[in-house]
A and B are shown apart, each in its own frame.
Chain A
């Protein structure tokens, strides 16, 4: 199940947009890092849909080199290779990049490895 985040007024959207929310879905939803991994290196697939035509741009917070814009579209899909070590926030903004129309994040989960003391077996040939 993909995460769904609806654009809300909390991001500065106007009432009109609240009535016609833009649906943004990301894949993957989370990235799990093992102890040896410094960052997630994965293909992020962003898919959006609106009930009316929109002119907007998809941007990723702290990744200024990534931007994809659409003119008068009601839906769009964008896939991009991204490396990130903290939660990755993907936003749909107006073409001036002033207003956030929708926002969604990919959570980075660091696998919390637990350790315990290993037994010694000096009697056996297994060290």
Chain B
């Protein structure tokens, strides 16, 4: 697994050092799904129906009803929902950011996770039971999975109609000191008034990360895990403020995760259809 990491890191460095090797996408000159105005806040709320399946045994699926989104892109600093960041370099084809991102796995364990609050509103919508691990079978109960944040570099690149991103993150909130590498490639299949974008990628989680969420003390001690995923997203603007949005996201869980006695599914499926209202 370490050799894979080295290859990924090498790819990141080589590609970033050769920005002319990539075919730059058109420069952003107007607001679009791909481009945002510098220095302006963007606040929107998606209302609709959707679900995210929960692979953790005894946990209910997570309904998606309200999805608030807030973003701000300055010249360097940006906030993209729950992910703040700082742009170190921005060219037509390559961008290098320093980002902070939450650990996603906690959403399966806690109703009060920030990401679930964002989805369901402060009153919650998922029938999770308590906000601790009480629904995990009692013989497997362990530590509470706390909110974690990971920090690291993120490389964004574009090549023709493809865009990609690769980030190498380390947990910095003192919970497990694990690592994650997130990579994805996106292709705009339709980019007219309708937008259809296909994504494929992976998340690699270090052993520390996997053990923090899916390990069971003295019973199951998993190693690192690699989860591939695909996602298709569609959007169509209906008016100046309203946009129809839909997406389906399928993530296949590594055996290191599904072999855990607290996990009962091999995948996580997230699907949502709704209307996005632009507040700001």
Contacts and interface: CB of A to CB of B under 8 A. Distances in A.
B67 to A, nearest CB: 6
A2 interface: no
B165 A119 contact: yes
Interface residues of A, number: 15
B37 A115 contact: yes
B199 A115 contact: no
Interface in A91-127: 113-127
A127 B270 CA distance: 11
A89 to B, nearest CB: 31
A118 B73 contact: yes
Given A120-B165, A122-B184, A114 B67 contact: no
Interface residues of B, number: 54
Contacts of A115: 28-31, 35-38
B184 A113 contact: no
Interface stretch (B9-17, B123-131, B215-223, B227-235): B227-235
A120 B38 contact: no
A117 B231 contact: no
B38 A122 contact: no
Given A116-B36, A118-B71, A125 B231 contact: no
Interface in B92-144: 95, 97, 104, 115, 118-119
Interface of A: 113-127
6 contacts: A117-B90, A118-B34, A118-B71, A120-B199, A125-B249, A126-B80
By Cβ-Cβ distance, the 5 closest A-B pairs, closest first, are A115-B28, A122-B199, A114-B38, A126-B81, A115-B35
Interface of B: 25, 28-31, 33-40, 52, 64, 67, 69, 71, 73, 75, 78, 80-83, 85, 90, 95, 97, 104, 115, 118-119, 154, 156, 158, 163, 165, 182, 184, 186, 197, 199, 201, 203, 229, 231, 233, 235, 245, 247, 249, 270, 272
Given A121-B81, A122-B199, 11 more contacts: A116-B35, A117-B35, A119-B80, A119-B85, A119-B156, A120-B197, A123-B104, A123-B229, A126-B80, A126-B81, A126-B118
